[in-house]
Amino acid sequence: MGAPDQDEAYFEFSSFLYPPEVYRFSVETGEASVWSRWPQPVDPSPFALEQVRYRSKDGTPIPMFVVHRRDMARDGGPRRSS
């Protein structure tokens, strides 16, 4: 959102791992900076986000987002140390 005769515009970004942040964008310079940030209750760095697709019983592809710890075993079980 922004006025057509002004240099600045604002936009919001959020994801499954990051709370909403509002950015100020300068049309003249092309640079964006954080204007407002919500407190982050959890450190997202140990987590990964993946979009996967599975086929339903009738063959329809179903997209899903999976959030998991980066060190989690991909076999559905806990990772075991050797």
Q: What percent of the chain is predicted at pLDDT more than 90?
A: 56
pLDDT at 22: 96
Tell me 6's DSSP state: S
Q: Quote the tokens at residue 48.
A: 């990964």
pTM value surpassing 0.75 = no
Residue 31 CB-half CA count within 13 A? 4
Greatest Cα-to-Cα distance within the chain, rounded to the nearest angstrom: 63
Task: Tell me how far apart the alpha carbons of residues 57 and 80 are, in angstroms, rounded to a whole number.
Answer: 33
Q: In this predicted model, what pLDDT tens digit does every residue of 26-50 receive, in sequence order?
A: 989 999 999 999 888 889 999 999 9
Q: In this predicted model, what pLDDT tens digit does every residue of 9-21 receive, in sequence order?
A: 999 999 888 889 9
